Amino acid sequence: MYTGEAAAIIANQPPEVVATGELMVLKNTIKRKVSGPNKARLLRIAGSDLGSLCTRANPGNIEQIRAMFQSMVQLVRAGNIGQFETEVARAKTEF
């Protein structure tokens, strides 16, 4: 997904920083693609439930967390809010 220099920069960051960056991409996607009462609710879910997940990122699980955040971004872009909420619940129990 990333190329050259960007991949090298990401690879040299602590897992918590990488996870937080992916979370920011997700939150920005929610801000752009979701409207109405769902927007505030999803931002709150992303900030609390997924924010705490970033602190638990480590070298052993960072790739799984990145993949999960990237799939959540795709769900939000597609407007599949129900599946997004299911993935958040799964992430809370998995990590």
Mean pLDDT of the chain: 90
pLDDT tens digits for range 2-36: 567 777 777 788 999 999 999 999 999 999 999 99
Distance CA 23, CA 84 (A): 14
What's the confidence (pLDDT) of residue 19?
A: 94
Percentage of the chain surpassing pLDDT 90?
A: 75
Is 16:55 a contact under the CB 8 Å cutoff? yes
What's the confidence (pLDDT) of residue 11?
A: 74
Distance CA 58, CA 15 (A): 5
pLDDT tens digits for range 85-94: 999 999 988 8
- Give me the residue label for tokens 């996870």: 19
Whether the predicted pLDDT of 1 surpasses 70: no
Q: Output the pTM of the full model.
A: 0.86
Sequence ranges of the domains in the chain: 14-94
Distance CA 81, CA 72 (A): 9
As a whole number, mean pLDDT of residues 69-81 equals 96
